[in-house]
Chain A
């Protein structure tokens, strides 16, 4: 992106102070903080808006499967968001987010909220609500700096008068630079700031109070009745990003049994250390705790997220790949900081749909401070490549460390889970535009951002137990925002007319495996895939878009080399559907449903492979076109490009997109 047209000057130019502030933005994402995991303290500081916390009585909690009135053994799709930040995340709070975890849950359930900027009465300039509530949410506030905002802004709170809080209040830029400097060192040298040692109570108090609030608000929001209207998960984000290279993971707990405090990046600068902490504090703690972690934004990892060495520099070994597979069944394939699926040249003959929602950056630091744009695209930053690399490791070591199922989410830093509507995008903050400085008619976020996606799980009911099991077995899919319903089965003998039968799902399970499964074939058998997708019904005001096409993407390992192929299996890529970018009116026909049984014409029984489905809607306007059109922007006339609307004419981001859904893969392994 050209610095000269950035609406709020996030380029490398500007005064030293401004540059420092930009570093701070990076620091908020890449820096660790003062919370001390695996310690406990009676000192707690709960942000006041949520009113503190009350202990949960575990004996009163029912976490078994089958309590919901809508239990369905053939499973239902539940729509959620597993990546959400509230005012507990320091980077969100510093950009004006006031909404608390309780607010975020209310929003997910359909309540209207007010968004910044706020007036004297605390009323937001914008109002927003989901016309369709979500089924489940995991709030994933950063473990680093967790709760520090409340401590430093609450006179009388333990630590409020500390030198660190004084610095936070008077010059947060400098405070963050200092902390960021800690993270500019090698991963092996990350450590807590000296001020957060054992004697520094305020760090513990800040984290502990916020962590208790996370738990209490999740408990409040969880519907434990038979209606099972809404499910919440206790979660957090482990936010390591050495040198600005993204290593982030969302950590999601199965139930209310969680560690005393979250493990942060500063407890150990490597994912292995996170997994080790999750083992000792959760999986092996004997408390009923269970957990998984979901890496995200490989597109901003500069190769680090799927790096193929252990923390000591040694190549992967059997223990490592088993450990990674056990902890990380899923990957977040799409969110507001772009798509991580693939690059357009990652398929034979090309895959032009991979040009969807790409940042012109490849590290978190570059996102925050500008510059370093247009890096050479690195295939190793994308999930498709990792899936193929995983096949190689499985051959070598017996376990595939990159056997990821897919989910999407928003990564909103405005506490508005599920706010994925292109037409009413309010920005997601975080590394994007500061929402508290927004004013009409400016774009609500930076041009490279987008409204994010959704996580969908096929589960028997809307409960923690059912949804967590679905995530564990990878029976999940991601969308770029719409609520398409997508099913994908693989097996040897599905009949050609399965799509005409009433029992598609029953036969799908009986004759094979669902998305996320490992397909085992007998000698002489070849795989057949049953795939069906239903359009998003939308709402009366905003009907869902018709479907255009359904594809199956295959990755395989042939003679040690990765091959990628894209197959059109249903629909019509040339259906003529289009959108008038001047009005965003759509035209053309499409499909309510697409369904087929497909056999791989290039199947090689000796070649391990993965297959996933991609369902694509008819074209629509990208989010930025709505405010750009409303403001009368014409890119051939610079006088129509008011301040804040420069992104309307950013050549990196075209006016049209095609929303989509990605099923988790099905893996084929030769016997």
Chain B
């Protein structure tokens, strides 16, 4: 008897569990469906992410509470209904009509504002770990160009002004080149050249040199010989002969020299990566259907 009762109880227990499981499964809400319309030329993945962020913003109620969105929708409706910018209408009624026309999901400024809210929410949830020196050292190596000091050229220049010499510039340059042959940098018999506000000597990176002489000037000096006069090299202002003292190679800092900078750089990069991952993970929360585009 007792065995029969245990069997009966087990029967009802299993039946109840199965029934409950079935009920539970049947009551779990299906993921919300989202139809993404991909505009011509738009990247499909980007279009999906945009739509999902908009949905997140809508879901949080920002379409009705954000003042920027409210103003935008009310202004749109005033324009659409021809009231003109000076009309004083009932903002709430205008807003309601804008929503009934779906403006809160289609207006590009409203969409951007909704996306911004959604991104802020996702970003705020990110917590970064404290990276080890090993991690930071690897990060420094990956982004070395952002921490290194650029290569520099150290030179002295003599100048012939295109404005002053006009048509004689080329001939004067040839003559100067010939006259400089074999002379030293400080030779007291250096031929006369033209004064200017250009620096007589520089020890700077290519971008700084070009900023003063015009784009492309530094590139001409890359193959210039060391410790003798060479030229002519052309600038925005005329031609130059150069005594190249030397080239300083780009320097690569050790982690200890730039640790705070590397740490902040790593934090920004890591947070950005995590942010992208969280936006992508939104796709699991929606049933996405794509219209248009390439697929």
A interface, CB within 8 angstroms of B: 9, 11, 13-18, 21, 48-52, 54, 56, 69-70, 72, 76, 79, 96, 102, 110, 117-122, 131-133, 135, 153-156, 170-173, 216, 219-220, 223, 225, 227, 229, 436-437, 439, 483, 485, 487, 499-504, 532-535, 537-540, 543-544, 591-593
Contact = CB atoms under 8 A, between A and B. Distances in A.
B10 to A, nearest CB: 49
Contacts of A102: 264, 268
B29 interface: no
Given A15-B88, A16-B88, A483-B211, A593 B197 contact: yes
A23 to B, nearest CB: 13
Given A48-B271, A51-B128, A121-B279, 7 more contacts: A21-B67, A220-B260, A227-B248, A487-B197, A537-B214, A540-B215, A544-B236
Nearest to B253: A225
A219 B193 CA distance: 42
A592 B162 contact: yes
A51 B267 contact: yes
Q: Interface of chain A, helix or strand or loop or mixed?
A: loop
Interface string B209-251: 0111111100000000000000000011110000000001001
Given A70-B204, A229-B208, A593-B197, A534 B150 contact: no
Nearest to B86: A13
Nearest to A541: B215
Contacts of B202: 70
A50 B202 CA distance: 34
B236 A119 contact: no
Given A121-B276, A132-B207, A591 B163 contact: yes
A49 B268 contact: yes
A122 B248 CA distance: 39
Contact of A502 (B152, B154, B195, B204): B195
B291 interface: no
Contact of A499 (B50, B195, B267): B195
A534 B65 contact: no
B136 interface: no
Interface of B: 46, 49-53, 65, 67, 70-71, 74-75, 78, 85-89, 91, 108-109, 112-113, 115-116, 119-121, 123-126, 128, 149-150, 152, 154, 161-163, 193, 195-199, 201-205, 207-208, 210-216, 235-238, 248, 251, 259-261, 263-268, 271, 275-276, 279
A154 B216 CA distance: 47
Contacts of A171: 67
B74 A17 contact: yes
B195 A14 contact: no
A11, A485, A537 pick with most chain B CB within 10 angstroms: A537
Given A120-B53, A121-B46, A592-B162, A537 B197 contact: no
Nearest to A223: B149
A131 B215 CA distance: 10
A156 B124 contact: yes
Contacts of B216: 540
B194 to A, nearest CB: 9
B235, B238, B267 pick with most chain A CB within 10 angstroms: B267
A132 B236 CA distance: 15
Contacts of A122: 119, 275
29 contacts: A17-B74, A50-B264, A51-B128, A51-B263, A69-B203, A70-B203, A70-B204, A110-B207, A117-B112, A119-B115, A120-B49, A120-B53, A121-B276, A132-B207, A133-B207, A133-B208, A227-B204, A227-B251, A229-B149, A437-B109, A485-B197, A487-B197, A500-B195, A502-B193, A504-B195, A534-B237, A538-B214, A539-B215, A591-B163
Contact of A592 (B89, B120, B161, B248): B161
Given A544-B236, A592-B161, A220 B264 contact: yes
B271 A592 contact: no
A537 B196 CA distance: 14
Contacts of A591: 163
Contact of A216 (B235, B259, B264, B265): B264
The list of the 6 closest CB pairs from A to B, nearest first, reads A51-B267, A120-B50, A537-B236, A537-B214, A51-B264, A54-B260
Contacts of B265: 51
Nearest to B195: A502
A669 to B, nearest CB: 28
Nearest to B152: A227
Given A119-B46, A537-B213, A593-B161, A76 B267 contact: no
Contact of B197 (A532, A539, A543): A532
Nearest to A49: B268
Contacts of B124: 153-156
A593 B120 CA distance: 52
A121 B49 contact: yes
B22 to A, nearest CB: 39
Nearest to A154: B124
A504 B46 contact: no
Given A118-B112, A229-B150, A229-B208, A21 B71 contact: yes
A271 B53 CA distance: 46
Nearest to B53: A120
Contacts of A437: 109
A21 B276 CA distance: 33
A120 B36 CA distance: 13
Contacts of A485: 197, 212
A132 B215 CA distance: 9
Contacts of B70: 17
B120 A153 contact: yes
Nearest to B54: A120
Contacts of A540: 215-216
Contact of B46 (A120, A500, A544): A120
Contacts of B116: 96, 118
A173 B207 CA distance: 45
Contacts of A534: 196-198, 237
Contacts of A54: 259-260, 263-264
B272 to A, nearest CB: 8
A492 to B, nearest CB: 22
A608 to B, nearest CB: 30
B260 A593 contact: no
Contacts of A543: 236
B236 to A, nearest CB: 4
Given A119-B50, A227-B150, A170 B89 contact: no
